[in-house]
């Protein structure tokens, strides 16, 4: 009975977020198909505000998969990007993307959407300042030496793939055979990279919503002590995220459970920010850059997340924008015949059409290459420019 209740809660949440997920993946795929990664590294060659701003914009237009973001950041670093710019690109790739914003809007509402993007920008500014004050040449040299060792993480092939169509006007590129193929490949590559995290996030959120009483959460998050909760939420939010093993948009259902349980507004935001310090990604940092740099990235990331969470809650309190109601309807909204159902059916149709194009143009081969070594991804770069029509 308890298991069925948890599964039902997970399905209810999936039903609410399905069409925004598909729309977000589609918009991200369009951007990835029209913006080439080949010219990115040259624009990120230093840690100037201009380079960090470009890294932020390009990251926001990239994939939302945390593992892919980490792998792409290392690729950019190895190709000449500065270490701060590569990490800023990585953070923007998971905190300022379409999918995350849409899911937050549907599940938690527009104040959380605004706080996520404003807080995401603030977190990146804090992170850039921390790099400027604490990142030594010795650490940077060590990171580059370790990055050149070519140790495997996850999504290595994804990091090397560049399927962008860059010749001609925007619409002509998008609607061309190559453009449609590139969109379908980018779409299904993101879906295949994220379905496990999203599914795990929904299942964990469903279990927590069904099995853990609200009284436990209210006590744990110090809901009866607003001043303590203001500090405690952002401090503990990233730690919960770290041990959840769930990253990117899969964090949002868990965030909804925590908000429903009484965590502070800033705690929710800091929790969502922390997808890049979950334990598997910390292990990848160790492989990519060495243990010392990995610990350094954990420390500066955590400080930036906590500071941004507290600052954004304080700002939103001053502006009167922090929601007073902790009840999340998406956790208890069963499917019904409404606009969500119609949009979900349209989303399934879009997935089917893109899936047909994906299978017709060597997509399964591309997926096998995505988790392969970098050389495989490079070979696919050539394939992406000569797809089957």
Task: For 197-225, give the DSSP string.
Answer: HHHHHHHHHHHHHHHS-HHHHHHHTTTT-
pLDDT (tens digit, 9 = 90+) per residue, 262-315?
999 999 999 999 989 988 899 999 999 999 999 999 999 999 999 999 999 999
With contact defined as beta carbons under 8 Å apart, do 300 and 134 qualify? Answer: yes
Q: Residue 152: pLDDT band by 50, 70, 90 thresholds? A: low
pLDDT (tens digit, 9 = 90+) per residue, 331-366?
566 667 778 889 999 999 999 999 999 999 888 887
Most confident of 16-30, 70-84, 135-149: 135-149
Average pLDDT in the chain: 83
Task: Say which residue the tokens 């237009």 belong to.
Answer: 61
HEC profile of 296-359: HHHHHHHHHHHHHHHHHHHHHHHCCCCCCCCCCHHHCCCCCCCHHHHHHHHHHHHHHHHHHHHH
With contact defined as beta carbons under 8 Å apart, do 288 and 138 qualify? Answer: no
Which of 320, 118, 128, 312 has its CA nearest to residue 233? Answer: 312
pTM over 0.75: yes
pLDDT (tens digit, 9 = 90+) per residue, 371-382?
555 444 343 444
pLDDT (tens digit, 9 = 90+) per residue, 80-122?
889 999 999 999 988 888 778 888 888 889 999 999 999 999 9
pLDDT of residue 10: 79
HEC profile of 62-74: CCCCHHHHHHHHH
pLDDT of residue 66: 81
Task: Say which residue the tokens 């499917």 belong to.
Answer: 335
Separation CA 249–CA 65 (nearest Å): 8
pLDDT of residue 370: 62
């Amino acid at each position: 009975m308890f298991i069925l209740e948890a599964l039902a809660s997970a399905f209810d949440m999936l039903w609410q977020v399905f069409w925004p997920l598909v729309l977000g993946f589609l918009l991200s795929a369009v951007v990835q198909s029209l913006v080439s990664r080949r010219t990115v590294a040259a624009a990120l060659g230093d840690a100037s505000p201009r380079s960090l701003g470009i890294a932020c914009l390009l990251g926001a237009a990239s994939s939302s998969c945390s593992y892919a973001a980490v792998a792409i950041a290392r690729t950019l670093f190895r190709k000449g990007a500065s270490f701060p710019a590569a990490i800023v690109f990585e953070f923007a790739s998971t905190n300022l993307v379409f999918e995350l914003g849409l899911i937050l809007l549907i599940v938690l509402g527009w104040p959380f959407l605004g706080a996520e993007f404003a807080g995401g920008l603030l977190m990146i500014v804090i992170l850039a300042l921390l790099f400027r004050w604490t990142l030594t040449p010795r650490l940077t040299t060590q990171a580059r030496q370790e990055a050149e060792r070519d140790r495997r993480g996850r999504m290595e092939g994804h990091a090397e793939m560049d399927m962008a169509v860059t010749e001609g006007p925007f619409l002509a590129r998008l609607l061309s055979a190559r453009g449609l193929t590139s969109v379908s490949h980018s779409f299904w590559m993101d879906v295949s990279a994220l379905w496990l995290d999203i599914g795990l996030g929904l299942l964990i959120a469903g279990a927590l919503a069904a099995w853990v009483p609200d009284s436990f959460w209210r006590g744990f998050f110090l809901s009866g002590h607003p001043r303590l909760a203001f500090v405690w939420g952002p401090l503990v939010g990233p730690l919960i995220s770290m041990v959840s093993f769930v990253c990117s948009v899969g964090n949002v259902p868990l965030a909804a459970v925590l908000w429903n349980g009484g965590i502070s507004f800033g705690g929710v935001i800091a929790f969502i920010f922390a997808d890049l310090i979950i334990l598997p990604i910390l292990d990848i940092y160790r492989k990519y850059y060495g243990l010392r740099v990995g610990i350094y990235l954990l420390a500066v990331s955590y400080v930036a997340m906590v500071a941004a969470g507290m600052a954004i809650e304080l700002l939103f309190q001053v502006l009167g924008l922090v929601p007073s109601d902790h009840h999340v309807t998406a956790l208890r909204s069963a499917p019904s015949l409404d606009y969500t159902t119609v949009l979900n059916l349209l989303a399934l149709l879009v997935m089917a059409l893109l899936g047909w194009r994906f299978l017709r143009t060597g997509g399964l081969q591309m997926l096998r290459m995505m988790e392969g070594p970098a050389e495989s991804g490079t070979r696919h770069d050539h394939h992406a420019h000569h797809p089957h029509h």
